């Protein structure tokens, strides 16, 4: 598909904001959704909305088929061995909390170690802090290199025989750093630790193969990869899922319920208590179709071009500091920066008056902000629908912010 045709699939982009054509550079917070995704949601609610895995009526069967077909699509998308390893959740945060509650809190003992990195999003940090407090395990951090990357040497040093869980982001939502998951998994497995990967910023941008990575758990969200909000995925190796206890109990997840005891359904349903996110799963499957019809090769190539162009263009502006690795090839999707003397909120407001949407703040990564020695930053993030012109508009907006705050007063 040609780029402008792809862009046409996202009607939301075709509007004016504050008198200017919208430039949406906040896809790392949530991506926009193509027409095909909106259509399947509409179709589901208009023609076969029904609960799944119960009842014998026709609509119920249709909904169940669509829901389970979505699971199969996700399985293929991440190359899991079977659909037993694919659990639908509310999103990455829920997925990570499920492991912290259903695995870490059950199996960790005092003296065990959990290792994470300083670049983690709060959702891959606080669940481990809490699990460590609850079990008496020790929480440790991989240090960062000055450009915001991890070094293999540090990884080897930090993971010890006592380490039971390593939880790491695939791509940093602030620095854009792509972490060496395969190396981390190999080193962790040698020491007997399992590896949990936060894939929220990876799955939207490049092909993820959980068997190739050999990670034990992989979590991601639908809404950052052109799908609807409220749907996410937790992949887990079958043997681990079998050992794990459900975190939520109730309808849908049971086998037999007696007065004083109950048994659970088999995988993956034992982890899906209550009416599942049916429309969300169907929408996510359609988003996967869309990503695959464009092709991750095309997506990556386009985003790399945008990244290279943005790194150059923003790098040329005097007083702009860009965080994270300077080589486009070592990062994905996001470019985080600050302008000397202008607070990122003020930058975001000036850009907003120009119709440009970026994120400003701590990006749910306060420990990383501390490490960067800033309280907040501005962040622009891309997806397939962004153009070089969007980057030009961003650069013009930044020059204007700088001008406005240095000379206007």
Partner 1 sequence: MPSNNLETLYRQVIMDHYKKPRNKGILEDGNVTIDMNNPTCGDRIRLTMKEENGKIADVKFEGEGCSISMASASMMTDVIKGKDTETALRLAHIFSEMIQGKEYETSEDLGDIEALSGVSKFPARIKCATLAWKAMEKGLLKNQSES
- With respect to partner 1, which residue has the nearer C-beta, 19 or 110? 19
Best CA proximity match to 3, nearest among 394, 404, 385, 396:
385
- With respect to partner 1, which residue has the nearer C-beta, 58 or 375? 375
Asked if 369 interacts with partner 1 (CB under 8 A), we say yes
Asked if 275 interacts with partner 1 (CB under 8 A), we say no
Residues in 4-23 that interact with partner 1 by CB under 8 A: 18
CB contact burial 59-96 (16+ within 10 A = b; e otherwise):
ebebbbebbeebbebbbebbebeebbbbbbbbbbbbbb
Asked if 362 interacts with partner 1 (CB under 8 A), we say yes
Active-site residue, 364 included: yes
DSSP conformational letter for 247? S
Distance CA 394, CA 397 (A): 5
What six digits make up the tokens of 337? 């920066």
Query: Binding segment for partner 1 among 126-134, 248-256, 324-332, 397-405 (CB under 8 A)?
Result: 397-405
Distance CA 46, CA 53 (A): 20
Residue in 25, 364, 365, 394 annotated catalytic: 364
Query: Binding segment for partner 1 among 111-119, 247-255, 269-277, 344-352 (CB under 8 A)?
Result: 344-352
Distance CA 277, CA 88 (A): 8
**Which neighbouring-strand residues pair with 356?**
23
Give the number of C-alpha atoms closer than 13 A to the C-alpha of residue 401, restricted to the C-beta side: 30
As measured in angstroms, the least distance from the Cβ of 23 to partner 1 is 16
Spatial contact of 245 and 102, defined as CB atoms under 8 Å apart: yes
Q: Given candidates 199, 268, 276, 344, which one binds partner 1 under the rule CB under 8 A?
A: 344
Q: Given candidates 376, 387, 388, 392, which one binds partner 1 under the rule CB under 8 A?
A: 376
As measured in angstroms, the least distance from the Cβ of 333 to partner 1 is 22
For residue 197, give every residue at least 6 positions away whose Cβ sits within 8 Å of its Cβ, in sequence order, or none. Answer: 167, 168, 169, 170, 181, 213, 215, 217, 218, 219
The residue count of the chain comes to 409
Query: Binding segment for partner 1 among 81-89, 91-99, 272-280, 338-346 (CB under 8 A)?
Result: 338-346
Asked if 296 interacts with partner 1 (CB under 8 A), we say no
Asked if 409 interacts with partner 1 (CB under 8 A), we say yes
Q: Given candidates 29, 353, 387, 388, which one binds partner 1 under the rule CB under 8 A?
A: 353
Query: Binding segment for partner 1 among 68-76, 268-276, 322-330, 396-404 (CB under 8 A)?
Result: 396-404
Query: Binding segment for partner 1 among 128-136, 272-280, 303-311, 352-360 (CB under 8 A)?
Result: 352-360
- With respect to partner 1, which residue has the nearer C-beta, 9 or 381? 381
Q: Given candidates 252, 346, 392, 396, which one binds partner 1 under the rule CB under 8 A?
A: 346
Cα–Cα distances (Å) from 258 to 104, 242, 255, 263, in that order, read: 28, 22, 10, 9
What six digits make up the tokens of 145? 């290199």
Q: Given candidates 264, 361, 396, 399, which one binds partner 1 under the rule CB under 8 A?
A: 361
- With respect to partner 1, which residue has the nearer C-beta, 149 or 401? 401
DSSP 116-162: EETT--GGGTHHHHHHHHHHTPEEEEE---TTS---HHHHHHH--TT
- With respect to partner 1, which residue has the nearer C-beta, 62 or 122? 122
Query: Binding segment for partner 1 among 49-57, 139-147, 326-334, 339-347 (CB under 8 A)?
Result: 339-347
Asked if 404 interacts with partner 1 (CB under 8 A), we say yes
Asked if 350 interacts with partner 1 (CB under 8 A), we say yes
Binding residues for partner 1, total number by CB under 8 A: 22
Asked if 380 interacts with partner 1 (CB under 8 A), we say no
Asked if 345 interacts with partner 1 (CB under 8 A), we say yes
- With respect to partner 1, which residue has the nearer C-beta, 132 or 350? 350
Q: Is the dihedral of CA 51, 55, 60, 64 positive or negative?
A: positive
As measured in angstroms, the least distance from the Cβ of 19 to partner 1 is 9
What six digits make up the tokens of 307? 């990244």
Region for 277 from its dihedrals, namely left if φ exceeds 0, alpha if ψ lies in -120 to 50, beta otherwise? beta
Distance CA 155, CA 140 (A): 11
**Which residues are marked as active site?**
364
Interface residues with partner 1 (CB under 8 A) are 18, 343-346, 349-350, 352-353, 360-362, 366, 369, 375-376, 400, 403-405, 408-409
């Amino acid at each position: 598909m040609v780029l402008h045709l792809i862009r046409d699939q996202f009607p939301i982009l075709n509007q004016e904001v504050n008198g200017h054509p919208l430039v949406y550079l906040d896809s790392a917070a949530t991506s926009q959704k193509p027409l095909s995704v909106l259509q399947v949601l509409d179709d589901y609610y208009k023609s076969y909305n029904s609960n799944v895995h119960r009842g014998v009526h026709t609509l119920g069967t249709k909904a169940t088929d669509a829901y389970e077909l979505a699971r199969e699509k996700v399985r293929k998308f991440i190359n899991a061995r079977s659909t037993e390893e694919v659990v639908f959740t509310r999103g990455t945060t829920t997925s990570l909390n499920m492991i912290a509650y259903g695995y870490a809190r059950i199996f960790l003992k005092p003296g065990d170690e959990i290792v994470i990195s300083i670049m983690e999003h709060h959702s891959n940090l606080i669940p481990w802090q809490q699990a460590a407090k609850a079990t008496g395990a020790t929480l440790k951090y991989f240090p960062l290199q000055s450009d915001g990357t991890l070094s293999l040497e540090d990884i080897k040093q930090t993971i010890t025989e006592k380490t039971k869980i390593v939880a790491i982001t695939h791509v940093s939502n602030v620095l854009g750093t792509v972490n060496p998951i395969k190396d981390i998994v190999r080193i962790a497995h040698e020491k007997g630790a399992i590896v949990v990967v936060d894939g929220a910023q990876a799955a939207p941008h490049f092909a993820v193969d959980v068997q190739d990575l050999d990670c034990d758990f992989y979590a991601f969200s639908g809404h950052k990869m052109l799908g609807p909000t409220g749907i996410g995925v937790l992949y887990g190796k079958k043997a681990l899922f079998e050992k794990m206890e459900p975190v939520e109990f109730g309808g849908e997840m049971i086998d037999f319920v007696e007065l004083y005891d109950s048994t659970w359904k088999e995988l993956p349903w034992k982890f899906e208590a209550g009416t599942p996110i049916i429309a969300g799963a169907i929408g996510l499957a359609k988003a996967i179709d869309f990503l695959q019809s464009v092709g991750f090769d095309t997506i990556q190539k386009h985003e790399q071009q945008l990244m290279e162009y943005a790194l150059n263009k923003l790098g040329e502006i005097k007083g702009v500091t860009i965080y994270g690795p300077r080589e486009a090839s070592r990062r994905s999707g996001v470019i985080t920066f600050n302008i000397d003397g202008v607070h990122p909120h003020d930058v975001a407001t000036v850009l907003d008056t120009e119709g440009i949407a970026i994120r400003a703040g701590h990006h749910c990564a306060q420990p990383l902000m501390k490490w960067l020695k800033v309280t907040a930053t501005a962040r622009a993030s891309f997806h397939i629908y962004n153009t070089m012109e969007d980057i030009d508009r961003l650069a013009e907006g930044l020059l204007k912010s700088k001008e406005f705050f240095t000379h206007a007063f």
